[in-house]
Amino acid sequence: MEGLNEVLTLFLSIDNFIAIGVGVLIGVIVGAIPGLTATMAVALALPFTFSLAPVTAILLLVGIYKGGMYGGSVTAILIHTPGSPASACTLLDGYPLTQQGKAKKALQMALYSSCIADVLSNLALILFASYLAKIALNFGPPEFFWLICFSLTIIISIAGESVIKGLIVACLGIIISCIGMDAVHGTQRLTFDNYNLMDRVSFVPLLIGLFAIPEVLDFYLKKASPHIRAASSGVGLTMKELKASMSSIVRGSLIGVIIGAIPGTGATAAAFISYSDAKRRSPNRANFGKGELDGVAAAESGNNGVAGATLIPLLSLGIPGDVITAIILGAFMIHGLTPGPVLFQENLPVVYALFCGIMISSVVLLAVGHGVIRYFSLIAEIPKAVLLPIVLLFCVYGAFAVNNSVFDIGLMLFFGVVGYLFKITGFATAPFLLGFILGPMFEDNLRRTLLIGRGDPMIFFRGPITWCFIALTLLSLFFALRRYWLERIRTAP
Amino acid sequence: MPPLLKLFSRLLIAGASLSLIAPAQAEWPSETVRLIVPYAPGGTTDVLSRKVADLLQQEIGTVVVENRPGAGSTMATAQLARGGRGADHTILMASPGHTIGPVLYKNLRYEPVKDFRFIRNIIEIPNVMTVPANSPYDSLGAFVEAAKTKELTFSSAGVGSSIHMSGELFKTMTGAKMTHVPFRGSGEALPALLSGDVDVSFENMPTVLAHIKSGKLRALAVTSKEPSPFLPGVGTVSQLGADQGLGEFVTTAWFGLIADDSMPDEAVTRLQTALEKVMADPGFLEFVAQVGGEPAAQAGDAFRDYVAEDVERWSAVAGQAQIEE
């Protein structure tokens, strides 16, 4: 009873509620600006939390994180520019919906699926943290290797019109991801002695260039892109539509939770896995990529499902799963708390007060999101001749802001041209992105596995988790290829 | 008084008072000070820099923290070394990346010692030679013996991290057969150590301290010169491994402020005085204890010599370990 009292004293302070509200609002706005990611917002907010109480400080950062996850989808849906990497998958169906005048529907679907996934993810954190953390620890390089193999099979389902074209761009993405220092020996690969390429190709400039710039180029080169004006960009989401996507949302959330609990995989992969799973199961499979609400729901529930779950390895093991949780770990340390088993022993009331706040943050996200959708929808009303120069400005700024590097602006423009070439030649862009993200993970884990196993290939088959992912990979490949051949036979003259 | 004389005397007074103001205007800092963190947000360097900036502000006015990650801290350091406008108000939080970077990246356009002013070393954090709790090796001696006959593995936060280089140094000093398994950051490396996928790691103290205390990891030795008060009962590598050729083995992660060599003496002195106060602050000392480190002592030339020694050590290790140059 005394414990409960302490939790409530820690949690029920007006500061905490203000922190969550302000955090989520900042997150949504920053997340929605291309190039300004939730990671940056969390890093910038960190010094302001020094003077706050520990629980309030962490809740502010968690609020920004969650808001940012949703905010990134707004520009993905409205202007084909993912505000954050994790929302790259949302634009596959979100942007076509905007083009059809259904921006409001897409934004609402993104919000509701984000919030539902968030709640489920939080529940997983609160109820199963210690259990999921144990699974995460069993994820060594061989298990990761097969998880990445499984994720690579998704390329087939997001390849667009042609599987062969999809595989070609995915390979290009993998090649681009090889640029920079080799992770095992430190060899410089494909850098042509250019100092700026010695690390790796920066992700944010590539992302912005690939998706936003082709839209801008397309508009000015064709000068005929019709602007769709509908009353507040269409009607809102109906209950029936939400219900129809509910199973995708729940499955996406669970995928997000599992991926989130394993450090080092990330929300982008979760969104794509969830999307491809929903596509495989959907009767409207053919409509995916052309404006399917279920696609938005699956992508957003996948990436938001990660948000609560990344706190599982952080709180229970002290291991940050991504950059944002690494900053939150820093915040814990500044306030004299050490996440990990010791935190649960020594500061249990703080942990439970955080859990209360994290649950509340999902509700706040719903409220804030609801409030801002109205204004965000207006973006879809702005004539493109006015909107696109502003978008371009943000793109340049966003590409620069990540590393304060002018080279990155050039990189963004280069990938803009690449993206445009993909667009006019009918190559899908998403497999390129997936190749770029998964390529290094594939290579790293392949080489790590061989190093750990001292060259013995049997390590790839060392336990139930590896077998489970081998089976999933083979099944996924089998079904994808079967569908591909069936369609070829059907469309053959 | 004739009008002209009046004007002249007024001008004289005005001039005299201006000359009094002039030194005040030139006092450093005359603009906002920028503290560059050469790594991404999160992580020890970032958190430490933000803590220092927060306290430094009370002494010298606004300090803005900027993250400029890239190429293992060398990107930001190269920018700093270029000097130019604002360089006299820019400081950078250097760490072992500053001394390992030149070994790892070719075409660096700066000399890690010659091109900089060394303001003050702030904190030193030892690495801990750590094995999983279920490891068969319960002492440094037993580990070295095993590593000479069997091929063991050690993990690190990436090629060229202080964790990696400590492992390579260990190899060259003992003749142990160890394979390096690199991860991207300690966050990814830690699970492999906890689960026993790798045999040993020379991890930074803050990453493993809580796990050692909770019994999930076992500390064999610390890499600093003296034992750490945070791990009582754990000896140093140089003491415990003296018989195995490790008598000179000392590696610590250090974090200190450097600036471009164009920074004036006055600014360096002002920063050094301010940092003395920052480092005496109870909040700072609490933070240092939190990360398992100790306040560092070297300032100015002593700091420069310390860094120069580090550069020498790592280039020797890299040469022997055949890391790309």
A451–B153 CB contact, under 8 Å: yes
Nearest CA in chain A to B153: A452
Domains B31-124+254-321 and B125-244 share a fold: yes
CB contact under 8 A, B50 and A47: yes
B31-124+254-321 homologous superfamily: Bordetella uptake gene, domain 1 (3.40.190.150)
Closest Cα of chain A to B194: distance in Å? 7
Which residues from chain B sit within 8 angstroms of residue A340, using beta carbons? 210-211, 214
Of A184-193, A237-246, B235-244, B247-256, give the lowest mean pLDDT range: A184-193
% of residues, chain A, pLDDT over 90 = 39
What is the full DSSP assignment across B192-205?
HHHTTSSSEEEEEH
CA distance B94 to chain A (A): 17
The per-residue pLDDT of chain A, averaged, comes to: 87
Option in A183, A321, A403 nearest B70 (CB): A403
A185–B contact, CB cutoff 8 A: yes
Q: What average pLDDT does range A85-110 have in this prediction?
A: 90
- Per-residue pLDDT for chain B (325 aa), expressed as one digit of tens each? 555 556 556 655 655 554 444 444 458 888 889 999 888 776 678 888 888 998 898 888 888 888 787 777 888 888 888 877 888 899 999 998 899 888 777 777 788 899 999 999 999 999 999 999 999 999 999 999 999 999 999 999 888 888 999 999 999 899 888 999 998 877 788 889 999 999 999 998 888 888 898 899 999 999 999 999 989 999 999 999 999 889 989 998 899 999 999 899 999 999 999 999 999 999 889 888 888 888 988 888 999 999 999 888 888 888 777 665 4
pTM for the model: 0.85
Question: Are the Cβ atoms of B42 and A403 closer than 8 angstroms?
Answer: no
Q: Is the Cβ of A264 closer than 8 Å to some Cβ of chain B? A: yes
A406 touches chain B (CB under 8 A): no
- Rounded to the nearest angstrom, the minimum Cα separation between B70 and chain A is 6
> Which residue in chain A is spatially nearest to B42 when comparing CA positions?
A327
Q: A191: distance to nearest CA of chain B, Å?
A: 11
pLDDT at residue A143 greater than cutoff 70: yes
The pLDDT value given to residue B42: 64
What mean pLDDT is predicted for residues A258-272? 86
Q: From the CA of B149, how many Å to the nearest CA of chain A?
A: 14
The domains of chain B are located at 31-124+254-321, 125-244
Chain B, residues 92-151, CB within 8 A of chain A, namely: 104-107, 109, 151
pLDDT for the residue B18: 47
pLDDT band, very low/low/confident/very high, at A193 (cuts 50, 70, 90): confident
CB of A141 within 8 Å of a chain B CB? The answer is yes
- A1 band by pLDDT with thresholds 50, 70 and 90: low
Contacts of A246 (CB under 8 A, 6+ apart): none
The interface predicted TM-score of the complex, written ipTM, equals 0.83
The residues spanned by each domain of chain A are: 2-223+234-491
Asked if A184 has any chain B CB less than 8 Å from its own CB, the reply is: yes
Please list every residue in chain A whose beta carbon sits closer than 8 Å to the beta carbon of residue B68.
403-405
Give the pLDDT mean for A30-59: 83
A329 touches chain B (CB under 8 A): yes
pLDDT band at A183 (very low <50, low <70, confident <90, very high): confident
Distance from CA of B266 to the nearest CA of A (A): 28
Find residues 175-204 of chain B whose CB sits inside 8 Å of chain A: 179-185, 187-188, 190-192, 194-195, 197-198
Q: Give the Cα separation of B308 and A473 in Å (integer).
A: 51
What pLDDT score was predicted for residue A114?
A: 94
Determine whether the interchain pair B190/A319 forms a contact, defined as Cβ–Cβ distance below 8 Å.
yes
Q: Does B213 contact A342 at a Cβ distance shorter than 8 Å? A: yes
Closest chain B residue by Cα to residue A325: B42
Across the interface, do B209 and A338 touch by the CB < 8 Å criterion? yes
Q: What is the mean pLDDT of residues A57-76?
A: 91
Q: Residue A458: its pLDDT value, please?
A: 94
pLDDT score for B107: 73
Does domain B125-244 match CATH 3.40.190.10? yes
φ/ψ of B182, rounded to 5, equals: -85, 145
- Percent of chain A, pLDDT > 70? 97
pLDDT tens digit sequence for A195-222: 788 778 888 889 889 988 998 898 888 7
